[in-house]
Amino acid sequence: MDAFEKLEKVGEGTYGKVYRAREKATGKIVALKKTRLHEDEEGVPPTTLREVSLLRMLSRDPHVVRLMDVKQGQNKEGKTVLYLVFEYMDTDLKKFIRSYRQTGDIPPNIVKSLMYQLCKGVAFCHGHGVLHRDLKPHNLLMDRKTMMLKIADLGLARAYTVPIKKYTHEILTLWYRAPEVLMGGTHYSTGVDMWSVGCIFAELVTKQALFPGDSELQQLLHIFRLLGTPNEKVWPGVSKLPNWHEYPQWSPQPLSSAVPNLDEKGLNLLAEMLQYEPTKRISAKKAMEHPYFDDLDKSLL
Ligand code: AMP
């Protein structure tokens, strides 16, 4: 790791710290992500190596943050650590949204472009059989100049130990979590990511989280208050999920009540992303073809 000069900590993900660093040989600025491996492992387990090569492959997509290199090292206790070297991005969607809170709405064409890029990156990952499982504004990186969006924090879940909660002030957010995950479903699929994409869509328009729950139950109740309490009719199998309870009954509200500044086509796409039944949720690939994106210049994306 002598090849890099650590500059400052730029963030903390679920699994470890991220530093801005300079590659001494080239002067290039990169993001270094230090990840611990399982405590009981000696060296790098083969599953981790597979995950890393998967990550490398996924990062060929322009909307996935580029993994440039992987270096193995040791921490003070002699435990193996991996340093993932990523291209450096100057902001993330959470900061970007926050920067508009004082100044007004994010221009609709920018919302559209960011959403298209997000769908494109997610479609690429899903096309390669990889779920993200934790999409949120915090791990969507951006280049402010070019308005390019890239998905980060991908796919290494199995290479890490359990999420390191203790050193982050931020509680693991539930806001983007799909209802089937909240209800304890274990056979979830690409729909979990599309739910998150829908929540992010609404947040880009309103600059406020769509479902800001602070516990798993509160999270579900937030969802139910807008979309109606689900039942076997709208979501066959829901009452068989492990955490299913009897809930207060709400009827569905129009999405426009929560996202008033979104046009008809946008609301229609959002509704397709927020379907209760996971298999009915629109896929990322289909979402890219949705009429909402018809007037977007896609040639540069
Ligand atoms: P992550 O663990 O990937 O979600 O990253 C946590 C935080 O670290 C992000 O929200 C960013 O603020 C920062 N970060 C992660 N990757 C990069 C990168 N490639 N360039 C710049 N900042 C990053």
**pLDDT tens profile 88-124:** 999 999 999 999 998 999 999 999 999 999 999 999 9
Binding residues: 33
Do residues 73 and 98 share a domain? no
Do residues 136 and 23 share a domain? no
Kindly indicate the confidence band of residue 144, based on its pLDDT and cuts at 50, 70 and 90. Answer: very high
Whether 134 is catalytic? yes
Q: Is the Cβ–Cβ distance between 126 and 283 less than 8 Å? A: yes
What CATH code is carried by the domain that includes residue 35? 3.30.200.20
Domain boundary among 65, 87, 109: 87
- Chain CA centroid to CA 73, Å: 28
Domain of 46, in residue numbers? 4-87
- Chain CA centroid to CA 214, Å: 18
Do residues 29 and 129 share a domain? no
Do residues 200 and 213 share a domain? yes
- Rounded average pLDDT over 164-168: 39
What CATH code is carried by the domain that includes residue 98? 1.10.510.10
Identity of residue 185: G
Least confident of 42-51, 97-106, 169-178, 252-261: 42-51
- Cα(185)–Cα(198) distance, integer angstroms: 19
Do residues 60 and 192 share a domain? no
Least confident of 43-47, 200-204, 252-256, 274-278: 43-47
Give the residue carrying structure tokens 């890490």: 160
Least confident of 42-46, 155-159, 290-294: 155-159
Identity of residue 171: I
Q: What is the signed CA dihedral for 232, 233, 237, 240, rounded to 10 degrees?
A: 0
pLDDT at position 75: 78
| Contacts of 288 by beta carbon, 8 Å cutoff, 6+ apart | 116, 119, 120, 123
Which atom from ligand 1 is nearest to the alpha carbon of 18? 8
pLDDT at position 15: 65
- Annotated catalytic residue: which of 61, 92, 134, 153? 134
State if residue 30 touches ligand 1 by the CB under 6 angstroms criterion: no
Number of domains comprising the chain: 2
Look up residue 38 and give its two tokens: 């399982």
Domain boundary among 36, 69, 87: 87
Kindly indicate the confidence band of residue 168, based on its pLDDT and cuts at 50, 70 and 90. Answer: very low
Give the residue among 86, 106, 66 at the shortest CA–CA distance from 207: 106
Query: Which residue lies with its CA nearest to atom 6 of ligand 1?
Result: 13
Q: Reduced to 3 states, what is the DSSP secondary structure of residue 292?
A: helix
Do residues 176 and 287 share a domain? yes
Instruction: Give the helix/strand (H/E) hosting 82.
Output: strand 80-87
**pLDDT(166) > 90:** no
Domain boundary among 71, 87, 103: 87
Do residues 70 and 119 share a domain? no
Backbone angles phi, psi at 204, to 5 degrees: -65, -35
Which atom from ligand 1 is nearest to the alpha carbon of 152? 3
Q: Is the Cβ–Cβ distance between 80 and 42 less than 8 Å? A: yes
Tell me the H-state helices in the chain.
Answer: 46-58, 93-99, 108-127, 179-182, 191-206, 216-227, 264-273, 284-288
Kindly indicate the confidence band of residue 160, based on its pLDDT and cuts at 50, 70 and 90. Answer: very low
- Alpha carbon of 206 to ligand 1 centroid (Å): 24
Highest mean pLDDT among 41-55, 140-154, 165-179, 262-276: 262-276
Task: Read off the pTM.
Answer: 0.91
pLDDT at position 37: 66
